[in-house]
Amino acid sequence: MSWYVDFVKAYPIISAMIQFAMLGTFGDIVSHWIVRKKIFNPYDLKTILLKMLEWAILAIFIKYAFIGFNGFVESLIAHNYLPNLSGLGKSFAISTAMNLQFGPFLVIAHRVLDNLIAKQNNWKNLDKGFYSLLWFWIPAHTITFILPKEFQIGLAALWSLALGIILGFYNRK
């Protein structure tokens, strides 16, 4: 496990890009498996590579948001706009601030990139993406921000896979 921590510390952006490219894309694929109730390749190689690139780009924004919103909450505490929080309370504050402020941008950016890759103009069910910020991402990232920094992006990438699985079950036919 030390190799992972060393790699994440030495290359925080690249490691975030790799983790999200792999796990986020796999979540997209698994959701198709669950919807169709069979294992198959829903994308051609070009689309898989574009999806991996999409997730890698999103990972950069996510990594910066993790750092920025941690500092944002620290600053609010330092200026007495929030009580002196620690542990679960601080994790919840960071998660809530990030998902309510940065989350809508990420949902829209994700859809824009999906539309570009699919060469379509699909804005259906975008509201479900926004609702996922409340019922999934705030609780999930509350857990994420309890962890040491080296493990936060890895868990966030795993959460992306988990949400793909959940949405696959939700969208089953």
CA-nearest of 42, 171, 39 to 114 is: 42
State the pTM of this model. Answer: 0.93
Q: Does residue 79 sit in helix, strand or coil? A: coil
On whether residue 73 sits in a domain, the answer given is yes
On whether residue 1 sits in a domain, the answer given is no
For residue 157, give its domain range. Answer: 10-170
- Structural domain total, the chain: 1
On whether residue 5 sits in a domain, the answer given is no
Q: What's the CA gap between 90 and 122, in Å, rounded? A: 37
Total residue length of the chain: 173
How confident is the model at residue 173, as a pLDDT?
65
Q: What is the mean pLDDT of each run of 10 residues along the chain (173 residues)?
A: 95 98 96 93 97 98 98 98 96 98 97 97 92 96 97 97 88 73
On whether residue 157 sits in a domain, the answer given is yes
User: pLDDT tens digits for 71-107?
Assistant: 999 999 999 999 999 999 999 999 999 999 999 999 9
On whether residue 22 sits in a domain, the answer given is yes
